[in-house]
């Protein structure tokens, strides 16, 4: 590639149900299925079919399922992406992790496991 033509990488952040902070309240958002592994796998597959380079799942991946109540739950981003890794072929799987989420060696092992399960596509 010529140096004057930099490569652009396209990604999608799957951490929440929408860019708007209150998007989880919209019944069409899919928030009730936030912890559904099939839904996450489907979103990643859609991104891969759309030729995106990578997906990002944040450490604050949350669920707030209903308008009438606030259920605040979290999934571990590394483990959630490790579950969908075998069903993907070439898309990068990037999990953001909080530095205070655990001991550095444990975080390193978790990301290394994701990297092994995804054949070198972890970030």
Q: Quote the mean pLDDT of the chain.
A: 79
Distance linking the first and last C-alpha atoms of the chain: 23
**Contacting residues for 19 by C-beta, under 8 A, at least 6 apart:** none
Q: Tell me the per-residue pLDDT of 92-120, one tens digit each, with 9 for 90 and over.
A: 999 987 777 678 888 889 899 999 999 99
Name residue 57's beta-bridge partners: 95
The reported pLDDT for the residue numbered 24 is 63
What residues does each domain of the chain span? 11-117
């Amino acid at each position: 590639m010529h140096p004057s033509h930099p490569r652009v990488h396209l990604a999608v952040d799957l951490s929440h149900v929408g860019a708007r902070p209150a998007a989880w309240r919209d019944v069409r958002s899919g928030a009730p299925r936030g912890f559904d592994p099939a839904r996450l796998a489907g979103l990643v597959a859609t991104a891969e079919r759309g030729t995106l380079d990578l997906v990002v799942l944040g450490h604050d991946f949350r669920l707030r399922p209903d308008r009438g109540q606030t259920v605040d739950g979290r999934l571990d981003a590394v483990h959630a992406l490790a579950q969908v890794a075998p069903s993907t072929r070439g898309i990068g799987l990037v999990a953001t992790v909080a530095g205070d989420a655990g001991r550095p060696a444990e975080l390193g092992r978790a990301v290394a496991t994701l990297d092994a399960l995804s054949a070198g596509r972890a970030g």
